[in-house]
Amino acid sequence: MSLLEGVTVAVAGMGPMGRGIARVFRAAGADVIVSDLTPELTQAGVDAIASESEADGEPVTVAGMPLTDAVARADLFIEAIVERMDAKASLLKAVAQAGRPELLVASNTSSLSIGEMGKEFGDPARVAGLHFFNPPTKMRLVEVIAGAATAPATLARVTALVEAAGKTPVACTDTPNFIVNRVCRPLYYEAQLLVMQGVEPAVVDAAASGALGHRMGPLTLLDFTGLHTHLASSETALREFGDPKYRPIPIVRGLVRNGMTGRAAGRGFYDYASEKPREAIARVLHPAPAESTGRVAFTGPDAPASDLEGADVVVYSCGAPSESGLARIRELLERAPVVVDSSDAGWVEQLPDGAAWARVHQPEGAGPFVEVVVDPVAGIQPGPAIELLLAGLGAASVEVPALPGLVADRLAHCMANEAYFVLEEGTADADAIDTALRLGMNHPIGPFEHVRRAGVGAVHASMRSMRDAFGDSRYRSSALMRRESAAAAR
């Protein structure tokens, strides 16, 4: 028997989130009552739930009632009304008056404080956050947020109900942006900064998809969700954390001011009248050759003297340039064409004559992908070594300028660093963070799994190199990452 049988869930707010949440609980066997501001809006919600679930092939029906009637019958109340504390506070006061003493109260807020809502409700022990992702019927993740005074029994009960509804709960504390939207802040900021540094949006998105396996590149995603929404959440993050690394990037402010708020407006990072993101990405992406030809040998500073005999091209995978590394590359260049495989800023000055520069990625569950450094301003051309590399690996590629971290490592390492901050401050544990990014963003691996594969020392060194090159404190490593990196080096 489902844990939800005999349980009544009341949902307030019949926007897309409230409708989706109501469907999730009803489909899993709970009795569901919904409510909006007026009887007409409530009925519109009931009707929309019936028609949308029918269209998705999972028909359900729910009851509609005024708030006080809904709450008087409910075991769990979930609010999904407008994202304004004053509106949520007055709703919760009405719920406190109408509700049963054992009623559990949850908010689907993306950014407001659960503790503050608990105080408004009058009994913070019974209030938790249940942050569903859009669309709730399809996305498996629910962030379960504990306010400072939420009772452990409340958390245990709402977590069990979320699981019974077929979702994957992850626990986190009451901090601005919670897990997914917080760890993704640098993904969005760095993508925008790359555009400000002259990189075409499609190149950023192609690298994020090709090298990191992101289903949608960050700029396509920002255009999809709306740049005004992103700008507002950046301003909230800046205000709440007081850390300048969360300041909005000027390009977004400019676009929003001009009404270019993304896909719905016809113009954002992409101009939808002339070229959709998919078309722009196809234009900059070099697809993988049908079959791989030639032999690629990999080596590097820590690699044993492997067999380089018969290699058509040698890939030297490394971090920052060093005297010994440069000497080794020059030696290798006498035997075969060489590609330096690194995203470190230092190669812009130190790349030896005759060597090419690229970054080779092996994304989870997909073929190899190469960022090829082509930078006429810095005097860096791809050369025949790159053709041999792409043919030998059978890799797709995109051309990127010689910027610190290039594109993919810059995005991935800044996200991983933010994940360390989230872990360090006790918002969530590492497994919860990885699960949240996989299920909430459809990233193939979470940030800590990325660090395990890349090596914490390499990620920390990459952050340090970006900080030195850009001179911006947004690239400072978390103290926890630095300490782990030191331990790994011992």
Ligand X SMILES: NC(=O)c1ccc[n+]([C@@H]2O[C@H](COP(=O)([O-])OP(=O)(O)OC[C@H]3O[C@@H](n4cnc5c(N)ncnc54)[C@H](O)[C@@H]3O)[C@@H](O)[C@H]2O)c1
Which positions touch ligand X (CB under 6 A)?
Answer: 12-18, 35-37, 41, 80-83, 87, 91, 108-110, 132, 134
Q: If we measure between CA atoms, which residue out of 141, 223, 238 comes closest to residue 188?
A: 223
Task: State the amino acid at position 70 in one-letter form.
Answer: A
Nearest residue (CB) to ligand X, 132 versus 369: 132
Contact by Cβ (8 Å): 83, 112: yes
Task: Specify whether 485 is catalytic.
Answer: no
Task: Specify whether 397 is catalytic.
Answer: no
Q: What angle do CA 395, 400, 403 make, to 5 degrees?
A: 130
Catalytic residue among 53, 107, 108, 131: 131
463 burial (CB, 10 Å; 0-12 / 13-18 / 19+) is buried
The set of residues, in sequence order, having a beta carbon less than 8 Å from that of 134 and lying 6+ positions away, is 16, 17, 20
The set of residues, in sequence order, having a beta carbon less than 8 Å from that of 88 and lying 6+ positions away, is 79, 81, 107, 109, 112, 117, 120
Nearest residue (CB) to ligand X, 240 versus 387: 240
Catalytic residue among 35, 107, 181, 478: 181
Task: Specify whether 361 is catalytic.
Answer: no
The set of residues, in sequence order, having a beta carbon less than 8 Å from that of 440 and lying 6+ positions away, is 133, 139, 141, 143, 179, 180
| Token pair for 49 | 């739930």
Q: If we measure between CA atoms, which residue out of 195, 187, 213, 253 comes closest to residue 396?
A: 213
| Token pair for 227 | 């740049």
Nearest residue (CB) to ligand X, 110 versus 477: 110
Q: How far is the CB of 269 from ligand X (least distance, A)?
A: 19
Q: If we measure between CA atoms, which residue out of 158, 183, 130, 167 comes closest to residue 433?
A: 183
Nearest residue (CB) to ligand X, 19 versus 464: 19
95-to-2, 4, 103, 488 alpha-carbon distances in Å = 27, 22, 9, 52
Task: Specify whether 181 is catalytic.
Answer: yes
The torsion angles phi and psi of 232, rounded to 5 degrees, stand at -65, -40
Q: How far is the CB of 421 from ligand X (least distance, A)?
A: 22
Angle of the 456-470 helix axis to the 479-489 helix axis, nearest 10:
130
Catalytic residue among 52, 143, 190, 399: 143
Q: How far is the CB of 138 from ligand X (least distance, A)?
A: 12
| Token pair for 311 | 């290699």
The set of residues, in sequence order, having a beta carbon less than 8 Å from that of 229 and lying 6+ positions away, is none
Nearest residue (CB) to ligand X, 16 versus 352: 16
Nearest residue (CB) to ligand X, 112 versus 389: 112
Q: If we measure between CA atoms, which residue out of 471, 456, 388 comes closest to residue 420?
A: 456
Could you write out the three-class secondary structure of 201-236?
Answer: HHHHHHHHHHHHCCCCCHHHHHHHHCHHHHHHHHHH
Nearest residue (CB) to ligand X, 81 versus 407: 81
Catalytic residue among 35, 53, 108, 110: 110
Nearest residue (CB) to ligand X, 18 versus 201: 18
Q: If we measure between CA atoms, which residue out of 481, 436, 473 comes closest to residue 454?
A: 481
What kind and span of H or E run contains 325? Answer: helix 323-333
Q: How far is the CB of 15 from ligand X (least distance, A)?
A: 2
477-to-200, 248, 467 alpha-carbon distances in Å = 27, 20, 9
Q: How far is the CB of 45 from ligand X (least distance, A)?
A: 7
Task: Kindly state the DSSP code that residue 261 receives in the 8-state scheme.
Answer: -
Q: How far is the CB of 225 from ligand X (least distance, A)?
A: 7
| Token pair for 109 | 């807020």
Nearest residue (CB) to ligand X, 3 versus 87: 87
Q: How far is the CB of 78 from ligand X (least distance, A)?
A: 10
- As a whole number of angstroms, the distance between CA 159 and CA 245 comes to 33
Q: How far is the CB of 454 from ligand X (least distance, A)?
A: 30
Q: How far is the CB of 194 from ligand X (least distance, A)?
A: 25
* Sole residue written with tokens 């990999």: 298
Nearest residue (CB) to ligand X, 70 versus 339: 70
With CB atoms as reference, the residue minimizing the distance to ligand X is 15
Q: Looking at the annotation, which residues are catalytic?
A: 110, 131, 143, 181
